[in-house]
Amino acid sequence: MFVILSMCVTFTSMLFPNKLLNPNNKLFREKSWESGGDIYQRFLRVRRWKDALPELSDIMKKLFPKKKIKTFDTEYLQSYIIESCRAELTHFCIIWASLLFPLWTGFSESLVIIYISIILNLPFIIIQRYNRPRIQRLLMRSKHTFTGIKAEDLSF
């Protein structure tokens, strides 16, 4: 049931309007304690494990892939930021939806499902919170700065 709920939330999130996914929205805005995402590297070593996690775009090719930056084009980077907001909101919604399980399962089963939901979704939220400020900094820089640099040359 958890998998079905997660899939429903995920497919519904594809319908979220971009206006809802504004990176300046309070939910998505970088917090001062995040230090531009560096806190996630400093304490959780996010760069070591983030690429090992699966991404839905690996299976569904029509989705926007977020594992690697394909280009430094302004429009692409803006899309990347919006899609990182979508991913973060999706994973938060899956966690919130898991709070519905007490409606049809016992208390202890619900606690297990909620715990699993947090454990499975939190790493993806962390990845978005780590990457988005870095991509936003890239976007703020001039396009000319990146002439001749390949995306794979930068460590994200």
Q: pLDDT at position 80, please?
A: 95
From 55, 49, 69, 31, select the one nearest 156 (Cα to Cα): 69
From 121, 130, 120, select the one nearest 39 (Cα to Cα): 130
Read off the pTM: 0.86
Q: pLDDT at position 129, please?
A: 98
Between the CA of residue 8 and those of 71, 79, 87, 91, 127, what are the distances in Å?
A: 31, 23, 14, 12, 22
Q: pLDDT at position 145, please?
A: 55
Per residue in 51-101, pLDDT (tens digit) is 999 988 888 878 888 888 888 889 999 999 999 999 999 999 999 999 999
Domain definitions of the chain by residue range? 28-153
Per the structure block, which two tokens stand in for 98? 């898991």
Per residue in 93-142, pLDDT (tens digit) is 999 999 999 998 999 999 999 999 999 999 999 999 999 999 999 898 84
| Least confident segment among 11-20, 24-33, 56-65 | 56-65
Per the structure block, which two tokens stand in for 129? 């919170």
Res 155 pLDDT > 70: no
| Least confident segment among 41-50, 95-104, 144-153 | 144-153
**What confidence tier does 149 reach under pLDDT thresholds 50, 70, 90?**
very low
Q: Are 37 and 132 in contact (CB under 8 A)?
A: yes
Q: Are 147 and 89 in contact (CB under 8 A)?
A: no
| Of residues 3 and 149, more confidently modeled | 3
